[in-house]
Each structure stands twice: as structure tokens, then as C-alpha cells.
């Protein structure tokens, strides 16, 4: 099969992060600093990515600013010809460091927002003073003139702040806001009771986004990931497995999506052992659910199968216990009632405890 190259690469430089958000999309077993790829390893990854046709590099983590060589890595990516987008909490960035990143050629910044006031943001991020620091970083980003996207992850505790988050994006001069309802993988899966939005909240968020999109047309782009446990059809996760995106984890494992390691039986290659282009083209994990041949009914004969690609493989694994099943979010899935029940049950757990992400769960 002739495989088109990926458009975007997500480089998770490190799992280290000063924040400890309870919905972190990193795996529950975090990679320790000693196991991270070196500066030269990453340089090679960027060169290989560009050579195989990758256009955009999303530099993420953890917190990518926790890597002291971040500026060198941005320069290496730009030298390879990649468009560079830094996804950051802002913590660890100084005015001087941002100026250096600008000089190194950084193209775009995506700043995360855990809440629209210090009480919410610092509680969710588990980092006192984080909100004030982030607002300072936002000012520096604006002064340098980086194109800015604001990222707001929503859950039951902060969904009422959506309107204010959209206002803040405008005040900061952002061109885009990414409003994503928490996706239940990794750490968030352990916190479904504390984070699951109610059905009413999900509907209210849909209305707020629709109204804001109409009002701000041409001024602010709003990308939106609705609460999928309350939806009727799934999102086209990763734009289809192994079709447009490739993820490289801090230790060099190459993954089709950030939660792919939750699918038992998949084997992942490492950029330390095998060229990136080979992994993309021939890696067994990438070919496991590429295209549509792997689908079961009802996806196999569904008219939406090239629109949503059967939804999310990791969610099918987590809820249906089968990564080739229809994403249970879909009304046509035999497991759809189960996801509805889970949504109702978890969203009513007002006393549910919250587990913040901790690095020291890492073995070794
Ligand atoms: Fe999408 Fe499969 Fe549902 Fe059809 S049956 S809408 S392809 S998830
Ligand atoms: Fe893995 Fe959706 S998160 S396919």
C-alpha cells in the first residue's frame, strides 16, 4: 500500500512538568529524564520528519520548557524546514527565553489555560502562582508578536468559565482558541468521577461555542472538541489512525496517537533503532488500524466511515475492550448505552476525589 506521509509531528520532548493537571494526556507511567532523547537524537528526528514530508512540528510535553535545550531544538526544527508550534503552560518561560525562541525561528505559541482565574487555574494545575505567571508570559508573547492560540481544557469543574475563556483569548490578541472537553485517557481516565461534565453542561457549552463562533466570525477561530460521552457520533480521532499525524514520545517511541500504549498487543518502534520513515510506512502499530479494512460492523458498511474513521481506537479499547470495535460514543455502537450510563454515573459524583498527576509514579 502506498502510504502518504504525515502532515504533522507531535514531539513530546519530556514528560517533566511543573504543573500536575489531573487530566494530563501523558501516560500514567511517565518517562524519567534519564530516558529522554538527547538534543542530537531530536535533531535527527526533525530532519527525518522533514525529509519524509512532515510540514508542522508541534513541540509539546509535559512542559517543553523543562528541556534546557528547547531553543536549540526549535532552531534545529526550523533548520530542517519545519513550521514550529510550541505548546506550553508558560511556566518556565522568561522574557529572555521567549526572545531567544523568537530568534531561533519559533513560528507559533499555544498557551494552555487551566481556568480563567487564579483560584481555578492554580487548583487544577496544582501550582500556586501559576495563573499570575501565565498572564505575565501571555503579555511577553504578545509583545514579541508570536501568533497565539489559547488552549482551554474543560471539565465539570471549569466548564462554566467557557465564556470568559473566549473573552480572554480576544483580550490576549489570540487568533484562535482551542476549546477541548477533557478526553478520558491517561490520567483523566482515573479522574472520570471528578471531571465528567453533566449532560446539561455539555449542551450549554455547545450553545456557547455556536453563539461565539457566529459573533466572532473573521476575528477569532474557535476549535472545539465537545464532550464525547454525551455525543451521538465520535470525533475522527487523529484524523484517522496513521493518516496525518505521528507522535514521538520522550524516550523515542513512535506512536500513532498519544494514548496508543493503552492498546494491549501493539508493538511500538523506537527512533533509536529504526528510521522514522520505515516506522511510519511499515511499523506494525501504524498499520494495525490504517485505512478501513480493519473495521467491524457497523462501521464497515457505514456511510460515515471515511468521515470519523470509526472514532477513537483507544476509546474502543477502554470501553468496549476491543480496539477494532466501533467507538462506543457512536449511537450505532452496541456499547453506546454503556457510555451513556458511564456519563450519567460519573457526572453525578460530586464528592469524587481528584488525583493530580505525579512524576514519582514513574518506575525507576
Ligand atoms: Fe462512525 Fe462507525 Fe458510527 Fe459509522 S458506525 S458513524 S463509521 S463510528
Ligand atoms: Fe488513540 Fe484516539 S486517542 S486513537
Residue in the structure block whose three cell numbers are 532523547: 37
* Lining residues, ligand 2, CB within 6 Å: 185, 237-238, 257, 259-260, 312-314
- The Å distance, Cα 315 to ligand 2 centre, comes to 7
Instruction: Please state the atom number of ligand 2 nearest to the C-alpha of residue 262.
Output: 1
Instruction: Please state the atom number of ligand 1 nearest to the C-alpha of residue 302.
Output: 4
Is residue 40 exposed (0-12), middle (13-18) or buried (19+ Cβ within 10 Å)? Answer: exposed
Which of 41, 115, 32, 27 shows the shortest CA–CA distance to 66?
32
What is the pTM (predicted TM-score) of this model? 0.95
Q: List residues forming the annotated binding site for [4Fe-4S] cluster.
A: 17, 21, 24
Return the pLDDT at 2.
Answer: 76
Distances (CA, A) of 205 to 78, 174, 194, 202, 347: 37, 20, 18, 5, 15
What is the separation of C-alpha 216 from the centre of its chain, rounded to a whole number of angstroms? 25
- The Å distance, Cα 248 to ligand 1 centre, comes to 28
Instruction: Please state the atom number of ligand 1 nearest to the C-alpha of residue 330.
Output: 3
Nearest CA residue ID for atom 2, ligand 1: 299
**Ligand that lies nearest to the alpha carbon of residue 323, given by its number in the listed order:** 2
Nearest CA residue ID for atom 1, ligand 1: 310
Determine which helix (DSSP H) or strand (DSSP E) holds 206, and give its type and residue range: helix 199-215
What pLDDT tens digit does each residue of the chain (364 aa) get? 679 999 999 999 999 999 999 999 999 999 999 999 999 999 999 999 999 999 999 999 999 999 999 999 999 999 999 999 999 999 999 999 999 999 999 999 999 999 999 999 999 999 999 999 999 999 999 999 999 999 999 999 999 999 999 999 999 999 999 999 999 998 999 999 999 999 999 999 999 999 999 999 999 999 999 999 999 999 999 999 999 999 999 999 999 999 999 999 999 999 999 999 999 999 999 999 999 999 999 999 999 999 999 999 999 999 999 999 999 999 999 999 999 999 999 999 999 999 999 876 443 3
Which H, E and C letters describe 42-103, residue by residue?
HHHHHHHHHHHCCCEEEEECCCHHHCCCHHHHHHHHHHCCCEEEEEECCCCCCHHHHHHHHH
Given a contact cutoff of 8 angstroms between Cβ atoms, the answer to whether 174 and 162 are in contact is: no
Ligand 1 neighbourhood includes 308 CB (under 6 angstroms): yes
Strands (E), 210-343: 221-225, 245-248, 254-255
**Which domains, ranges and CATH numbers included, belong to the chain?**
8-230 (3.20.20.70)
Return the pLDDT at 363.
Answer: 39
Nearest CA residue ID for atom 2, ligand 2: 312
Return the pLDDT at 1.
Answer: 64
- The Å distance, Cα 258 to ligand 2 centre, comes to 7
For the chain, percent helix, then strand, then coil, each to nearest 5? 40, 15, 45
Instruction: Please state the atom number of ligand 2 nearest to the C-alpha of residue 311.
Output: 2
Ligand 1 neighbourhood includes 299 CB (under 6 angstroms): yes
Ligand 1 neighbourhood includes 234 CB (under 6 angstroms): yes
Ligand 1 neighbourhood includes 295 CB (under 6 angstroms): no
Amino acid at each position: 500500500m502506498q502510504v502518504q506521509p504525515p502532515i504533522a509531528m507531535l514531539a513530546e520532548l519530556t514528560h517533566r512538568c511543573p504543573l500536575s493537571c489531573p487530566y494530563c494526556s501523558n501516560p500514567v507511567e511517565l518517562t524519567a529524564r534519564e530516558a529522554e532523547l538527547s538534543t542530537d537524537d531530536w535533531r535527527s528526528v526533525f530532519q527525518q520528519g522533514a525529509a519524509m514530508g512532515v510540514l508542522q512540528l508541534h513541540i509539546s510535553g509535559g512542559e517543553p520548557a523543562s528541556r534546557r535545550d528547547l531553543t536549540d531544538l526549535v532552531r534545529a526544527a526550523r533548520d530542517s524546514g519545519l513550521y514550529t508550534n510550541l505548546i506550553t503552560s508558560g511556566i518556565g518561560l522568561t522574557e529572555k527565553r521567549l526572545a531567544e525562541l523568537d530568534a531561533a525561528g519559533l513560528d507559533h505559541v499555544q498557551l494552555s489555560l487551566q481556568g480563567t482565574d487564579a483560584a481555578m487555574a492554580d487548583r487544577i494545575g496544582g501550582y500556586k502562582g501559576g495563573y499570575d505567571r501565565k498572564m505575565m508570559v501571555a503579555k511577553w508573547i504578545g509583545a514579541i508578536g508570536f501568533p497565539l492560540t489559547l488552549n482551554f481544557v474543560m471539565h465539570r469543574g471549569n466548564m462554566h468559565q467557557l465564556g470568559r475563556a473566549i473573552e480572554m483569548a480576544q483580550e490576549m490578541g489570540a487568533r484562535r482558541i482551542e476549546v477541548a472537553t477533557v478526553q478520558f485517557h491517561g490520567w483523566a481516565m482515573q479522574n472520570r468521577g471528578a471531571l465528567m461534565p453533566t449532560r446539561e453542561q455539555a449542551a450549554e457549552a455547545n450553545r456557547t461555542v455556536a453563539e461565539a463562533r457566529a459573533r466572532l466570525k473573521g476575528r477569532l477561530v474557535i476549535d472545539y472538541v465537545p464532550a464525547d460521552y454525551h455525543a451521538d457520533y465520535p470525533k475522527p480521532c487523529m484524523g484517522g489512525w496513521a493518516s496525518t499525524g505521528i507522535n514521538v514520545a520522550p524516550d523515542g517511541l513512535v506512536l500513532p496517537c498519544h494514548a496508543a500504549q493503552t492498546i494491549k498487543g501493539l508493538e511500538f518502534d523506537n527512533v533509536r533503532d529504526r528510521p522514522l520513515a520505515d516506522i511510519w510506512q511499515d511499523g506494525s502499530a501504524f498499520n494495525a488500524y490504517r485505512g478501513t479494512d480493519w473495521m467491524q460492523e457497523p462501521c464497515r458498511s457505514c456511510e460515515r466511515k471515511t468521515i470519523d474513521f470509526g472514532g477513537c481506537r483507544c476509546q474502543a479499547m477502554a470501553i468496549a475492550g476491543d480496539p477494532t470495535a466501533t467507538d462506543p460514543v457512536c449511537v450505532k455502537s452496541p456499547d453506546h448505552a454503556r457510555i451513556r450510563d458511564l456519563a450519567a454515573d460519573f457526572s453525578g459524583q460530586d464528592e469524587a476525589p481528584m488525583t493530580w498527576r505525579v512524576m514519582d509514579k514513574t518506575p525507576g
